Amino acid sequence: MNVFITGANRGIGLGFVQHYLGIGCEVWACYRNDRGGLTKIDNQHLHLVKWDVTQDKPTSIDGDLPVKINVLINNAGVYGPSEDADQSLNAVTPEGMLKVFDIDCVGAVRVVKMLWPSVVKAKGVIANISSKMGSSADNTSGGCYAYRAAKAALVIVSKSMAIDLAPKGVRVITLHPGWVRTDMTDDSGLVDVAESVGGMTQVIEHIEKYKPGDFVAFDGKVIPY
């Protein structure tokens, strides 16, 4: 099985890499500049791809891109201005919002635009990693304008991908990883990477249980949005 993962050099993305290599898959792992945890993996089934998702295509690839992709995981993302106060209504800037939107939402569109023919050949799955913070129904605290807006937009474009690619045999789902202990959360999350990734890979494996474009948490529960 061929798996393609963006934002794969640390945190959840690196967890996906380790999971899929562990079950014998060929894995194409993307990083922006720093290979991070990928440098510690010695596995002939790992292929490194340098791809900043603000760009339309990779700048370097270890070998060739896969002809068929069984699972494409759009994981690359940023929180944006690190302090919550910097994403408040008073402090957030258009420039800051657009930067987060470009990476967290448009980046996934760029990747799918380039790779969807390979996913079609495998009748594969596209999993877009969003966040429950992108759910309007779940928003009871306000704030986080840049991150919430970008992750909400990703849910919507993911739904459109699900509708557009279904006739071609491709299934698309949006995933919420939970509040995970990673660099992005300053290791303050409620679940660890292995639990989050283990849950999300189960959702991907049993995607037929869900409607096209559903927004699903790592524990398998559908999230209203």
**pLDDT bucket at 112, cuts 50 / 70 / 90:** very high
| Stretch 25-33: mean pLDDT | 97
Q: Virtual CA dihedral for 202, 196, 3, 204, nearest 10 degrees? A: 30
Q: What are phi and psi of 138, to 5 degrees?
A: -95, -5
pLDDT at position 190: 66
Residue 147 annotated to the active site = yes
Reply yes or no on domain 2-217 having CATH 3.30.413.10: no
pLDDT at position 121: 98
- Return the bridge partners of 172, or none: 126
What single letter denotes the amino acid at residue 127?
A
Residues 6+ apart with CB under 8 A from 174: 127, 128, 129, 130, 154, 155, 158, 159, 213, 214, 215, 216
- At 170-215, the pLDDT tens digits run 999 999 999 886 655 565 666 899 999 999 999 999 999 999 999 9
pLDDT at position 141: 86
Mean pLDDT (the chain, rounded): 94
pLDDT at position 225: 86
Looking at the chain, the whole-number percentage of residues with pLDDT higher than 90 is 84
- At 66-106, the pLDDT tens digits run 999 999 999 999 988 876 568 899 999 999 999 999 999 99
Report d(CA 145, CA 137) in Å as an integer.
Answer: 15
Q: Using DSSP, how many helices (H) and how many strands (E) does the chain show?
A: 5, 8
The domain segmentation of the chain, as residue ranges, is: 2-217
By mean pLDDT, which of 118-122, 142-146, 177-181 is the weakest?
Answer: 177-181
Report d(CA 66, CA 186) in Å as an integer.
Answer: 34
Catalytic residue among 31, 147, 210, 225: 147
SS3 65: coil
